[in-house]
């Protein structure tokens, strides 16, 4: 593990006013989004859509890294240039989703653990050869009366630690992504407690396993009411609770923190990040790593008229710019 290399990659990824764009939807997630909009779910259509995301002119002003899915990692633009070489030529870091999705957690109804640890080291070696400098591994937690259970959080945390170590051994920066799902009618206090307990478990496993904390990035959900909650929360309340929770449990020497958008309304995700940066100074770099909140407008526009790539790219650029402004409290 070369700690200097890891720290340098982290600082390139988190240099203000930039954030990370997630375009790492798995085949099934990407196809579901295409189906909803009437787009054929073929490899070529996914390539065409990803080409517009990767080739958007000027996006490198706002985006430091793209997280790709395995299929996208191997695809090329129509002019023959690989997506990886296009991103690198813009100075954008290439990241790769390396988890294999989730599976049922035995004996725990409705709970999930993340798959993909088998053979991970070999896959990472290949991705590194292809040009990846960072990776992502996601675990999900459903908020319910008795969930997430301690056992489920612990199991996922052990996997995070194994994954993070495997990445760092190859000088690949691991993004550790524990996502407390927005589904449900729980209130913000419940989300706060679940996020707090889970972060405690995640960081204690990472530290015990010897993961180099300044060489990782935490990708987290915000502390937010469930999407069917009776009482909503303002941007200021979400910002205050999220930062308080993170300050309690995230080590000060972590490389940095980024947010997923998790199904929030696009603009709310931007406003929440902006509100966090308008508060007191923060102990760690804090920015965005949104998927949907940046892509939604572009995808809808392209689905309606795939010949008007420029329009979709403009929408993508605008969303990236808005979030870049929010990442320095200037939205």
Residue nearest to ligand 13P (CB): 291
Known catalytic residue at 177: yes
Question: How many angstroms separate the CA atoms of 258 and 327, rounded?
Answer: 10
For ligand 13P, which is the closer residue by CB, 215 or 291?
Answer: 291
For ligand 13P, which is the closer residue by CB, 37 or 310?
Answer: 37
Cα torsion 288, 294, 296, 297: sign: positive
For ligand 13P, which is the closer residue by CB, 93 or 177?
Answer: 177
Angle between helical axes of 292-304 and 309-326 (0-180°, round to 10): 170
Marked catalytic residue, from 177, 190, 205, 271:
177
Token look-up 């940066």 returns 277
For ligand 13P, which is the closer residue by CB, 66 or 290?
Answer: 290
Marked catalytic residue, from 97, 112, 190, 219:
219
Q: Facing residues of 138 across strands? A: 177
Q: Is 60 helix (H, G, I), strand (E, B) or coil?
A: helix
What is the nearest approach in angstroms of ligand 13P to the Cβ of residue 15? 20
CA 91 and chain centroid, separation:
19
Known catalytic residue at 252: no
CA 250 and chain centroid, separation:
17
What is the nearest approach in angstroms of ligand 13P to the Cβ of residue 140? 9
End-to-end CA distance of the chain: 38
What is the nearest approach in angstroms of ligand 13P to the Cβ of residue 152? 18
- Chain contacts with ligand 13P (rule: CB under 6 A): 22, 138, 177, 260-262, 290-293
Question: How many angstroms separate the CA atoms of 303 and 307, rounded?
Answer: 10
What is the nearest approach in angstroms of ligand 13P to the Cβ of residue 40? 22
Please identify every residue annotated as catalytic.
177, 219
């Amino acid at each position: 593990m070369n700690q200097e290399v890891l720290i340098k990659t982290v600082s390139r990824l988190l240099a203000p006013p930039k954030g990370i764009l997630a375009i790492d939807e798995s085949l099934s997630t990407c196809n579901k989004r295409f189906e909803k909009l009437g787009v054929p779910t073929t490899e070529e259509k996914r390539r065409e859509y990803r080409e517009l995301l990767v080739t958007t002119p000027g996006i490198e002003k706002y985006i430091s890294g793209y997280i790709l899915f395995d299929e996208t990692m191997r695809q090329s633009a129509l002019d023959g240039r690989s997506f990886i070489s296009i991103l690198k030529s813009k100075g954008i870091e290439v990241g790769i989703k390396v988890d294999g999705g989730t599976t049922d957690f035995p004996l725990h109804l409705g709970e999930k653990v993340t798959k993909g640890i088998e053979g991970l080291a070999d896959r990472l070696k290949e991705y590194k050869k292809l040009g990846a400098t960072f990776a992502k591994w996601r675990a999900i937690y459903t908020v319910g009366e008795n969930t997430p259970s301690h056992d489920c959080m612990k199991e996922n945390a052990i996997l995070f630690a194994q994954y993070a170590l495997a990445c760092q051994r190859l000088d690949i920066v691991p993004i550790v992504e524990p996502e407390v799902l927005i589904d449900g009618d729980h209130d913000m206090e419940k989300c706060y407690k679940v996020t707090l307990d889970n972060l405690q478990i995640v960081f204690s496993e990472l530290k015990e396993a010897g993961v180099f904390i300044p060489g990782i990035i935490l990708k987290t959900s915000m502390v937010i009411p469930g999407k069917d909650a009776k009482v909503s929360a303002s941007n200021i309340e979400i910002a205050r609770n999220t930062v308080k929770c993170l300050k309690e449990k995230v080590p000060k020497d972590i490389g940095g923190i980024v947010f997923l958008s998790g199904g929030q309304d696009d603009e709310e995700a931007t406003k929440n990040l902006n509100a966090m940066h308008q508060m007191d100074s923060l102990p760690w770099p804090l920015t965005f790593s949104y998927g949907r909140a940046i892509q939604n407008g572009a995808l809808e526009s392209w689905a309606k008229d795939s010949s008007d790539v420029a329009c979709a790219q403009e929408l993508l650029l605008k969303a990236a710019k808005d979030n870049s402004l929010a990442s320095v409290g200037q939205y």
